[in-house]
Amino acid sequence: MESSSSSSSVEAPELGAQSSARRLLRLRSHLTPAAPPLPPCGADQQLEMLTCARTTKLEVDTERLSDYMRGKHRGIQEKVYEYLNSRPDLQTPVEISMDEHRELCMRQLLGLVREAGIRPFRFVSEDPEKYFAIMEAAGSVDMSLGIKMGVQFSLWGSTVINLGTKRHRDKYFDQIDSVEYPGCFAMTELHHGSNVQGLQTTATFDPITDQFVIDTPNDGAIKWWIGNAAVHGKFATVFAKLMLPTHDARGLADMGVHAFIVPIRDMKTHKTLPGIEIHDCGHKVGLNGVDNGALRFRSVRIPRENLLNRFGDVSRDGKYTSSLPNINKRFAATLGELVGGRVGLAFSSVGVLKIAITIATRYSLLRQQFGPPKKPEVSILDYQSQQHKLMPMLASTYAFHFATLYLVEKYSEMKKSHDDQLVGDVHALSAGLKAYVTSYTAKSLSICREACGGHGYAAVNRFGSLRNDHDIFQTFEGDNTVLLQQVAGDLLKQYKEKFQGGTLAVTWNYLRESMNSYLSQPNPVTARWESEEHLRDPKFQLDAFRYRTSRLLQSVAVRLRKHTKTLGSFGAWNRCLNHLLTLAESHIESVVLAKFIEAVERCPDASTRAVLKLACDLYALDRIWNDIGTYRNVDYVAPNKAKAIHKLTEYLSFQVRNVAGELVHAFDLPDHVTRAPIAMQSEAYSQYTQYVGF
């Protein structure tokens, strides 16, 4: 009797639990499309089928994938690689002094331009896509070379042709193109970097001699970190406040920051010109092939014609004329023409990420450690922890590739059309992508180094130099935190436009189209959908990203309005700053995902499209999982769905691992470009041992 009653007392709750479970399953079947049932078979057979399903590997045609990725400028990049590979004397050794590196970097640039016949400058305006492809290739070989090239053509050269007029183009173009006129971009000062309107260097017009007088009024106004200044530069584009005599009590009128061409060294002797003081900024954390210097000007006189006068000019009698109505408009137009530098950095940063993830992935496939008892050791990329580190990063590299390619296309279109709306859109998008991508790459370089263990610490395997050289990408051409604030400011402006019935820039169209639905209460049914088909649906993914951005935008607008009443606009902005930065990052992630989805959908080859879709799904779901708290807090995602997202993200990482070798191979980076022995495609260990002398 005891046994019987004991048995029934156990069975009753079990039956109740089973009944509850059945009810839950029935409810779930209404919310989630059912997976097809497994055919009846034994437990071993079912396990075998599941194992087989998990190890199904996509077929990847790396040549087709590479063609789709690299497109029409593959040829010019290979020309850069082949020329530098054919010249052992121009290859950067692992150990090199700062002075030797600077001279080598200049010889590399001159060799590409004068011997290989690669003339990047003519593409700066004519074909920016081709120009950025050349820059990416040069930077892949030696980041100092890519930056040196950028200083010469994107900065010094670009200011002459974009801020100047025909007289400047006629006088300087050919010599900048041939690097006969190496030059500098002298904007940053010791006391002012991001706040360009706060620059203190002055350019005072002297009507008697028809000259401008360039002065550094105090130590804080010394031009600092100026690339090409310490050794090679002969000219500088100097940004200074244009001061005009007023013939009244004021004495001088400040017309705002303008750009001036200032010769800094003698063309024949290379000696520093009178009134100019140049000092070397010295050894840096990275990029020591670039000669950064500091410039001081003491009453340096230049002809009036050296004013780069596209947006403002001074006549012989000292009258100022401009097609733009005020200082702020002129300043915005001037900075708008310099946006190419940010576009180039975002694009080049993806190139650095490609090298790092290629080295880390190939090593992780090669390296074997531990394994099941009495079985061979397994590749370290078979460990879930290594997949978690590297596979979302590989997916992100593809995402950033397509996003920055889109940015370059829009920039090229802007250079041709000069459409005001497109100019604003490119300005904000370049700021956001430069900030987001360079920050992500900087973090990823450290993760890749750690993922390669002790061998990742060897200088020859490049993570140290890549990390050090790339680090400055986060702060030059605009500090990332400042750039993200620009994006947040533009979002708030667009938000205001939406409610005033104005037009929105193209990148923000989704705010007008769907913001009301994004801000409505989440659907309690879809919040519980957890099928793989639903979670891998691009509409669900993009809606989730845009929902988060819209929530952040609406909530920060409310907070700013509230705090402005007590703290003023500056204090309110500072109080909400972290919220604003999160908003900007969320928006950029939405843009990146949208461009990745578009790239997948327009891919003509089915097998290539399938592998890109896999990477795109991992990028999207990994981002959603990383911010799952936000979605849970507002019940956009129910607990069961959150769990399903996590499980699917891990499964997709495993699936990407199965094609990781092919995905990095499609970047088409030759061994002589990656240059890390642990990433060699054949005999990696033997090449590594040979390097150290065995």
**Any idea which residues carry the catalytic annotation?**
477
d(CA 554, CA 356): 38
> Cβ of 80: how many Cβ atoms within 10 Å?
24
Structure tokens at 602: 């327009």
> Cβ of 175: how many Cβ atoms within 10 Å?
15
Nearest one of 263, 254, 210, 258 to 235, comparing CA atoms: 263
Query: Residues in the chain, how many?
Result: 694
Are 237 and 186 within 8 A, CB to CB? yes
CA dist 193 → 63, 248, 404, 435, 669 (Å)? 44, 33, 25, 16, 35
d(CA 157, CA 307): 15
Estimate the crossing angle of helix 509-519 against helix 480-500, to 10 degrees: 80
Buried/exposed 288-311: b ≥16 CB within 10 Å, e otherwise = bbbbbbbbbbeebebebbbbbbbb
Q: Read off φ and ψ for residue 585, nearest 5 degrees.
A: -65, -40
d(CA 191, CA 216): 12
d(CA 190, CA 610): 51
CA dist 123 → 135, 160, 319, 665 (Å)? 11, 14, 35, 28
Q: What is the strand order of the sheet 276-280 is part of?
A: 223-227, 292-297, 276-280
Give 249's strand partners: none
Are 602 and 650 within 8 A, CB to CB? no
> Cβ of 651: how many Cβ atoms within 10 Å?
14
d(CA 663, CA 144): 27
Three-class secondary structure of residue 193 per DSSP:
coil
Buried/exposed 177-189: b ≥16 CB within 10 Å, e otherwise = bebebbbbbbbbb
Residue type, 584: A
Contacts of 332 (CB under 8 A, 6+ apart): none
d(CA 409, CA 402): 10
